[in-house]
A and B are shown apart, each in its own frame.
Chain A
Amino acid sequence: MKDEAREGAGASMLYVEDEADARQMVTRMLAMNYPHLTVHCADNGLQALELYRQHTPEIVMTDINMPVMDGIRMSREIKAINPEVSIIAVTAHSDTSYLLSAIEIGVHHYVLKPLNYQELFTVLDKVLEQIELKRLVSAQHRRLAQSECQLAAAQRIAHLGSWQRGIDAENMDWSDEMYRICGLAPGAIPPSYHSFLERFHPDDREEVASSMQSALSPDHQPEHKFVRVLRPEGDVRIVRIDVEGVRETGGASGVIGTCHDVTELKQAEQQIRLLTEELERRVLQRTSLLQATVSELENFSYFVSHDLRAPVARLEGFCTALVEDCGVCGHANCRQYAERSASVVQQIKQIMDAFNSLTHLARCTLTIRDTDLSAFARGIARSLAAGEPQRKVEFVIAEGARVKGDPELLEKALGQLLGNAWKFTSKKEQGRIEFGWTDQQGVRAYFVRDNGAGFNMKYAQKLFKPFQTIHAPGEFGWGGTGIGLATAHSIVLRHGGRMWAEGEVGQGASFYFTLEPNPESGSYLKEA
Chain B
Amino acid sequence: MAPSYILLVEDNPDDLFLASRIIGKACQHEILTARDGEEADELLRRMEQDDSYYQIKLVLLDLKLPKISGLDLLRAIRASAKLQVLTVAVLTSSDNETDQEQCRELGVVDYIYKPMTVERLQGILSRNEGAQ
Chain A interface residues toward B at CB < 8 A? 305-306, 309-310, 312-314, 316-318, 320-321
Is B102 located at the chain interface by the 8 A CB criterion?
Answer: no
CB nearest to B115 among chain A residues: A317
Residues of A near B64 (CB, < 8 A) are 310
Distance in angstroms from A325 CB to nearest chain B CB is: 9
Q: Which of B18, B95, B113 contacts A314 (CB 8 A)?
A: B18
Q: Is the CB of B94 within 8 A of A306?
A: yes
Q: Is the CB of B93 within 8 A of A321?
A: no
Cβ contacts B1-38/A at 8 Å (1 or 0 each): 00000000000101100100100000000000000000
Q: Is the CB of B18 within 8 A of A309?
A: no
Is B75 located at the chain interface by the 8 A CB criterion?
Answer: no
Q: Which of A309, A312, A321 contacts B95 (CB 8 A)?
A: A309
- Beyond the given pairs A312-B93, A313-B93, A317-B14, 14 more chain A to chain B contacts, judged by CB atoms under 8 angstroms and listed by A's residue number, are A306-B93, A306-B94, A306-B96, A309-B95, A310-B12, A310-B15, A310-B114, A313-B115, A316-B115, A317-B18, A317-B115, A317-B116, A320-B117, A321-B18
Residues of B near A312 (CB, < 8 A) are 93
CB nearest to B117 among chain A residues: A320
Residues of A near B21 (CB, < 8 A) are 321
Q: Is the CB of B18 within 8 A of A318?
A: yes
Residues of B near A321 (CB, < 8 A) are 18, 21
25 A-B pairs with CB atoms under 8 Å apart are A305-B95, A306-B94, A306-B96, A309-B93, A309-B94, A310-B12, A310-B93, A310-B114, A313-B15, A313-B93, A313-B113, A313-B114, A313-B115, A314-B12, A314-B15, A314-B18, A316-B114, A317-B14, A317-B15, A317-B18, A317-B114, A317-B116, A320-B115, A320-B117, A321-B18
Residues of A near B114 (CB, < 8 A) are 310, 313-314, 316-317
Cβ contacts B108-124/A at 8 Å (1 or 0 each): 00000111110000000
Distance in angstroms from A22 CB to nearest chain B CB is: 128
Distance in angstroms from B63 CB to nearest chain A CB is: 11
Residues of B near A320 (CB, < 8 A) are 115, 117
Could you tell me the distance between the alpha carbons of A305 and B93 in the complex, rounded to whole angstroms? Answer: 9
Cβ contacts B70-113/A at 8 Å (1 or 0 each): 00000000000000000000000111100000000000000001
CB nearest to A345 among chain B residues: B115
Q: Which of B14, B15, B95, B115 has most A Cβ within 10 Å? A: B115
Q: Which of A309, A312, A313, A320 has most B Cβ within 10 Å? A: A313
Could you tell me the distance between the alpha carbons of A309 and B91 in the complex, rounded to whole angstroms? Answer: 13
Distance in angstroms from B23 CB to nearest chain A CB is: 13
**CB-based closest 7 A-B pairs:** A317-B115, A313-B114, A317-B18, A310-B93, A309-B93, A313-B93, A314-B14
Could you tell me the distance between the alpha carbons of A309 and B117 in the complex, rounded to whole angstroms? Answer: 17
Distance in angstroms from B61 CB to nearest chain A CB is: 15
Could you tell me the distance between the alpha carbons of A316 and B14 in the complex, rounded to whole angstroms? Answer: 11
Could you tell me the distance between the alpha carbons of A320 and B120 in the complex, rounded to whole angstroms? Answer: 14
Residues of B near A313 (CB, < 8 A) are 15, 93, 113-115
Could you tell me the distance between the alpha carbons of A309 and B15 in the complex, rounded to whole angstroms? Answer: 12
Residues of A near B117 (CB, < 8 A) are 320
CB nearest to B114 among chain A residues: A313
Distance in angstroms from A316 CB to nearest chain B CB is: 5
Could you tell me the distance between the alpha carbons of A312 and B114 in the complex, rounded to whole angstroms? Answer: 9
Distance in angstroms from A356 CB to nearest chain B CB is: 8
Residues of B near A314 (CB, < 8 A) are 12, 14-15, 18, 114-115
Distance in angstroms from B111 CB to nearest chain A CB is: 14
Could you tell me the distance between the alpha carbons of A314 and B18 in the complex, rounded to whole angstroms? Answer: 8
Residues of B near A318 (CB, < 8 A) are 14, 18
Q: Which of A314, A317, A320 has most B Cβ within 10 Å? A: A317
Could you tell me the distance between the alpha carbons of A317 and B93 in the complex, rounded to whole angstroms? Answer: 12
Residues of A near B15 (CB, < 8 A) are 310, 313-314, 317
Could you tell me the distance between the alpha carbons of A316 and B96 in the complex, rounded to whole angstroms? Answer: 20
Could you tell me the distance between the alpha carbons of A309 and B114 in the complex, rounded to whole angstroms? Answer: 9
Could you tell me the distance between the alpha carbons of A306 and B96 in the complex, rounded to whole angstroms? Answer: 8
Residues of A near B14 (CB, < 8 A) are 314, 317-318
Residues of A near B18 (CB, < 8 A) are 314, 317-318, 321
Residues of A near B94 (CB, < 8 A) are 306, 309
Distance in angstroms from B112 CB to nearest chain A CB is: 10
Distance in angstroms from B99 CB to nearest chain A CB is: 11
CB nearest to A320 among chain B residues: B115
Residues of A near B93 (CB, < 8 A) are 306, 309-310, 312-313
Distance in angstroms from B89 CB to nearest chain A CB is: 16
CB nearest to A321 among chain B residues: B21
Distance in angstroms from B130 CB to nearest chain A CB is: 27
Distance in angstroms from B97 CB to nearest chain A CB is: 11
Could you tell me the distance between the alpha carbons of A313 and B12 in the complex, rounded to whole angstroms? Answer: 12
Could you tell me the distance between the alpha carbons of A312 and B115 in the complex, rounded to whole angstroms? Answer: 9
Distance in angstroms from A198 CB to nearest chain B CB is: 74
Could you tell me the distance between the alpha carbons of A237 and B15 in the complex, rounded to whole angstroms? Answer: 80
Residues of B near A317 (CB, < 8 A) are 14-15, 18, 114-116
Could you tell me the distance between the alpha carbons of A310 and B15 in the complex, rounded to whole angstroms? Answer: 9
Residues of A near B95 (CB, < 8 A) are 305, 309
Distance in angstroms from B25 CB to nearest chain A CB is: 8
Distance in angstroms from B47 CB to nearest chain A CB is: 28
Residues of A near B96 (CB, < 8 A) are 306
Could you tell me the distance between the alpha carbons of A318 and B14 in the complex, rounded to whole angstroms? Answer: 9
CB nearest to A310 among chain B residues: B93
Distance in angstroms from B15 CB to nearest chain A CB is: 6
Could you tell me the distance between the alpha carbons of A305 and B113 in the complex, rounded to whole angstroms? Answer: 13
CB nearest to B15 among chain A residues: A314
